[in-house]
Chains A and B, each alone.
Chain A
Amino acid sequence: MTVAATTHRLHLKTNRTVDLTVDGQHVRVPEGSTIMKACQEVGIGTPTLCYEQTLTPVNACRVCVVEMEGSRALVPACARKVEPDMVIWTDSERVRHSRKLVLELLASSVDLSYAPDEVQGYLDHYDARPERFGPPDTSDGAVHRDHTQAGHHIPTTNGYAATVAQPPKIDNELYIRDYSRCILCYKCVEACGVDAQNTFAIAVAGRGFDAHISTEFAAPLPDSACVYCGNCIAVCPTGALIFKSEYDMRQAETWDEERQTETDTICPYCGVGCTLRLHVQDNRIVKVTSPMDHDVTNGNLCIKGRFGWQFVQNRARDTGVEESVGTS
């Protein structure tokens, strides 16, 4: 991981190109490109879950796998670098099978109901039927997932399919961690660690199906090293990490993305000049992000930019002035 992290960051500046074939089409891309990049060149999309342009690829989800001639196993398009004369197939029987199964395995064990439409699109496209593995076991296990012992499990014999179901962790006013929605993509860990925040408040703990994201000894966030930058929230692909504001509205069934607008502004707090994207519903800010492709932030913010907007609404309420948005 560490080594991969550093080499990935040396963006290889080279004029050399590599020629390869993707689904029968010839492609030429710069040396050091990924197979996924080569696919893009010829307009072939790749489903991804654990890939994020701003993070070191962990290639753990395997939904992006493609067939590479000469390789016994499929290879992850998001991370595998192109090599001269590679012959890649992105829609072969084997590829479709693996993508479908990966999606079924995830959807049968994780609550994907807050995942973006894109993910539902993948499930439909590959005709994923997670119910094939039996009805989901949503009971709280005998041992909470935070306290399992590596190398031991209690097998389910009741015909249900094991899931990661567990109650959400609500331990602070800013954001909620609902790990029953976690696909273990490692993105939050990377964002909190070497790839952005360098705080290392969370890590993957446990092993196998019991692996999970955790603070030390599963301590509540306020007791952990977390500085509430929210950079983990920004990269979470399934809504396992969400703003408290969003969580509360979803609970009250008032969350409605159709009614939301996005307004970009600059953070008023310091001289860095991060772009804030305000997500507004019914004239109230419901969450704040920053564009992933923004060269100042790469999608990252600090606690002030991410969460320090309550005053906008509070002031409005206190003064009775009509609510304003994006003032700075």
Chain B
Amino acid sequence: MDLRLIQNATPSAEERDAVDSLLGAPQTDWRGTPHEAPADAYFGAAGHESRGHRHLLLPALHAVRDATGFISPGGLNYICQSLDVPPADAYGVATFYALFQMAPVPPMIAHVCDDIACRMSGAREVFAELESRIGPAGKATPDGRATWHRSPCLGLCECAPAVLLQRAGTNQTDEVIAPADASAVLTRLTGDARKVEPNPQELNGSLHAPQTLDPECAKGLRLLKRAGRVDPESIDAYRASGGYEALRRAFDLGPDGVIREVLDSRLQGRGGAAFPTGRKLQDVARAPARPHYLICNADESEPGTFKDRILMENDPFALVEAMTIAGYAAGCEQGYIYLRGEYPLALARVRHAIDAARRRNFLGADIMGEGYHFDIDVRRGAGAYICGEETALFNSIEGFRGEPRNKPPFPTMVGLFGKPTMVNNVETLMNLPEILIQGGPAFASVGTEQSTGTKLFCVSGCVERPGVYELPFGVTLREVLDLAGGVRDGRPLQALLLGGAAGSFVTTEDLDVELTFEGTRAIGAALGSAVIMPFDDTIDMADIVLRIAAFFRDESCGQCVPCRVGTVRQEEALRRLSAGVPLGSVDQELALISELELVMRDASICGLGHTASIAVQSAISKLHLFDSKRAQ
């Protein structure tokens, strides 16, 4: 293939530096120097060597965006030239992601969360203020330095309302403001950023995990045991608190021994599908094809979910150790953390932990003198919920559009780069050190027969003390709600969302459900990512359901018809219903919505389509949404 670049589009010095600093200085003249070739030329590009680097496309797009705020034709050209990717192809990849803009934008963008938890906690006031002071979403401030947009859940729901400041330029880093008030956002957008106080989110990790504040409560914590107590940026502090004892134990047990402990622990995946982790480890370890890869799925984008962020921010070394253990057991030499693009603090801490571990020989060649070689690369997402789906994640890392693949084949056989791959959620992996230290059977003695261990619950919305709570499986919904102080301001409870946007609504009648995989299934719900979001009596549930429908429409990858068009038709029907102008009758609309639910569940390629109507259906059947309108 000859590469034909975009004509008359030369990269700026900034763009070239950004790409070069990622890929190293150009090996050949033609990449580094502005090319004199005629505008119409076809380049016999960098050849086989660079073609093997397509997986650097996403990092290269980030590099250009970080430098200039957007992906220009010249910048795209330079990336394409460097990696030997056709421009149309790279354009298709870049436009897949919400955090990449393809036209000039101000160097600072405030992504203001418009999702369910934030809507109930002051986001509307922030929008109103921004609209009146700056103008509608997308409008630049008078000096052209900043603008704002609405955003899906930023994974900061416990400190709603949340804002992510995405910045461009040298030495600029993204920043989170949460909880955000309009004036703090405006100061950043219109004022002198240097004068701004650091925001509370960065100050104290324990703020977000209320149990850690109470020494009694804190004693029982496993996953959160270091949160707020151990410096997340010090490997010495980590080691002093028991860090790397589990890896030592793993080396003593050998890979098979580790797998046996995990099987005995009966640990199930915390990423939503509850797949037995031991079996996955075993399948990958036994897969004949080589190499094997390990991926930590840290894309956490399910609205209402923020547990993985809190783990990474507060105990990043534990994740690095856990991945090393999993990699050792599954026979992997290379691991990846695919980390949500909207998590600047988690990104910084995880990167720091990896570097520190590498310096101390806890990563790299011959780890701890045991002859095991393993390293971890961090890959930043760029605003796409679907990239949390494991096969979409592979495509995203490989430098393709984040479109899910058909299964079978399954990742344990054909995964990243077509090789056997172990993919696990952050929380799943973080259980491994504990399992090795305690032993599998001891781990399994906590929780219930079928759901073992402890679970992190993401509690936000109309609740007194939002945050992440660690409790043994089997605790009831009521108990979690009580621990979090009950409904905010003592108001009556209207309903709860369980499991996230892909989960379902439950009512006060369901408060005694045992929170386990099997218990939630028994009431026709699912634990999902363990979101618990109460709504008080003032909340307009139709507005919440509409927001969920809009979310799925925005986040569908667009590959298959049932989901690509079905999510649009679902949102349209709900809008007609909530506006009181149904096509035909209300009953006809409700029937249409259930027909859509069936085709999305039956015929979509991936879990996004399969679950895109679950919350909507539960709102209709359990909350009797739109019934009142029928009565009118």
Contacts and interface: CB of A to CB of B under 8 A. Distances in A.
A214 B88 contact: yes
Contacts of A157: 575, 579
A229 interface: no
Interface stretch (A104-112, A255-263, A265-273, A276-284): A104-112
Interface stretch (B13-21, B97-105, B454-462, B498-506): B97-105
Given A2-B398, A4-B405, A65 B602 contact: yes
Nearest to B419: A3
A3 B599 contact: no
Nearest to B71: A217
Contact of B1 (A132, A153, A198): A198
A141 to B, nearest CB: 12
Task: State the majority secondary structure of interface residues on A.
Answer: loop
B562 interface: yes
B66 to A, nearest CB: 18
A54 interface: no
A105 B569 contact: yes
Contact of A225 (B88, B384, B568, B573): B88
Interface string B325-367: 0000000000000000000000000000000000000000000
B384 A207 contact: yes
Most buried by B among A3, A74, A79: A3
Given A1-B395, A207-B558, A208-B564, A97 B583 contact: no
Contacts of B595: 97, 101
Interface stretch (A31-39, A56-64, A114-122): A56-64
B529 interface: no
Interface in A175-215: 183-184, 193, 198-211, 214-215
A42 interface: no
Interface residues of A, number: 65
B76 interface: yes
Contacts, number: 208
Contacts of B149: 152
Contact of B602 (A98, A202, A223, A225): A98
B572 A1 contact: no
A102 interface: yes
A216 B568 CA distance: 26
Contacts of A63: 561
A91 to B, nearest CB: 15
B560 A62 contact: yes
A74 B605 contact: no
A105 B562 contact: yes
B89 interface: yes
Contact of B598 (A98, A199, A216): A98
B564 to A, nearest CB: 6
25 contacts: A62-B562, A62-B604, A73-B604, A74-B602, A80-B406, A101-B595, A102-B599, A105-B565, A105-B569, A109-B565, A133-B572, A152-B149, A155-B571, A159-B581, A162-B568, A200-B88, A201-B88, A204-B558, A205-B92, A206-B96, A207-B558, A208-B556, A209-B568, A215-B91, A225-B88
Given A134-B583, A207-B96, 9 more contacts: A2-B400, A65-B603, A74-B603, A101-B603, A133-B573, A155-B571, A200-B88, A207-B384, A214-B95
Q: Which 10 residue pairs spanning A and B have beta carbons closest together?
A: A151-B98, A211-B558, A203-B92, A200-B86, A101-B599, A216-B87, A3-B418, A105-B565, A225-B4, A98-B603
Interface of A: 1-4, 58-63, 65, 73-74, 76, 79-80, 94, 97-98, 101-102, 105-106, 108-109, 132-134, 147, 149-153, 155-157, 159, 161-162, 183-184, 193, 198-211, 214-217, 219, 223-225
